[in-house]
Structure 1
Amino acid sequence: MDRRRLFGLALTLPLAALPLFAGPAASAAPERKPASKPAIGNRLVMLDPGHGGADPGAIGTLGTREKDVTLDIARAVARTLRERHRVTARLTRDDDRFLALEERVALTRKAGADLFVSIHADSAPSTQARGLSAYTLSDKASDAFASRLAQQENRADRYGGLEIKGTTRVVKDILIDLTARHTRNASLVARQALVRGAGKDLRLLDNPMRSANFAVLKAPDVPSVLVETGFLSNPHDERILRDANARLVVARVLAREIAAVLTARGFA
């Protein structure tokens, strides 16, 4: 029985010097479903450019808007995944529009994605914080830094005149009863692989693997990771993320590591 049918059954039962670059610029590089391992080209990755429309996200001191940075990086990641790694990639938004957090999750589940990666470049609690980091879902945040980021991200729906509703009972039951144990474990595998791989070429945040209660990561049957490509609250990161060539390097590194995640031990 495939993963989605299994989850469907589970839900009917009662009851996660511009030194962003740490090494040479990235180029191409290196692959889930139970039973047999499908070809990497059969995998679908949903990329989620954070913010959009009336919600600009973080705004750096030079006026760099997070919603523009994330869309540009996500488009380049999708293009690289298709052209270099034979991975199907879609975007939750491919233009400057507002999408509620629940809509992003719903689009991902409807598409039957194998992996969801939400791309951000937020403001950090400290202007000293810089570098790439990745986050998975957890009811209890790993630390105050991750908790602040999650609270910040979960307020995004205010731009659409919506309120973040509490987690649905079904999702709560899944998280509490570990019905989605595989999804949560696969999310952890994805987070670790993305950070370790990206760290070969990009600067990482201190303690780059964290977790918190991010609303956008709550698909119960799709491994989900939120990636902060840097922080626009930091002047060094902002200068990097303003540069089209630097963003392309970040995108190629992410694409390479996303492709590698799809064949990582413990993910498929």
Structure 2
Amino acid sequence: MTEKYTLKVTDSDIRLDKYISEHIENLSRTRVKELIKEKNILVNKKQEKVSYKVQAGDEISVTVPAVKPLDLTPENIPLDIVYEDDDVIVVNKPQGMVVHPSAGHPDHTLVNALLYHTRNLAASPEGFRPGIVHRIDKDTSGLLMIAKNSQARESLEKQLANKTNERYYLAIVHGNFGEENGKIDAPIGRNPNDRKKMAVVENGKNAVTHFKVLEQFKNYSLIKCKLETGRTHQIRVHLSYIGHPVAGDPLYGPKKTLKGSGQFLHAEVLGFKHPKTGKQLTFEVKPPKIFEDTLNELRREK
């Protein structure tokens, strides 16, 4: 249900986002910024910037659109299952598929597909991502591990926290390298200028990415990345930070780049200890056809 508010300002020289978040319960400054950008907040019937300083006598109208409920309905969406037993599923997620429902993607996700495939998925604290212990971005393809029960979830999450997993990614990136190997150790947090993006920031969370150069082409390189930590958009942010953004990345790279629908980033290798037997399991999948075709085209142009 859409909610509407009208605020009569009695204070002065307070930022618009701060003023609204302090006077309307359950509206964070981040959410207020989104509403301002969407033209759902007007000051004296006009749109103002987030940084606008309210003045006594201003009238602020706030419209909070109804949020479409997250849909955990099972959907008959094909899955590329690499491995499955009573405790875990390893799936090769296609490029373009969102991992779990969110406000922007309420259905047609990997979770909806998994719920159609099996009723046995570990419950999640949030409720909307059963079975999910880690994520890869919508336009990143490759391997994900899914927990089918609470014991499996606890074990897999612990392995992620202790950094004992094997996670290797292939990436086609801009530019060439002077070195064969490298390590990027730079903290990642929300971009202070754009809350939809992440960035290397001084007070961010520890983030470490290792990379190895596999091939170099004209203006591009193929590299393999190993994740030591698992921050949001980590590889994409780190590679952009060192001047080698992932080709096709709509957030962190040049807009005009290789033909495709999203970043050329693929979760190629995934390894973990089985939550019940303790046996080491390692899986590897080839990148999607568009990734392979692009590599072959770059090799011909070399």
Q: Same fold (TM over 0.5)?
A: no
- Under a length normalisation based on structure 1, what TM-score does the superposition of the two structures give? 0.25
Structure scoring higher RCO (CA < 8 A, sep ≥ 6) equals 1
The structure where strand makes up a greater share of residues is 2
Provide the TM-score with structure 2 as the length reference. 0.23
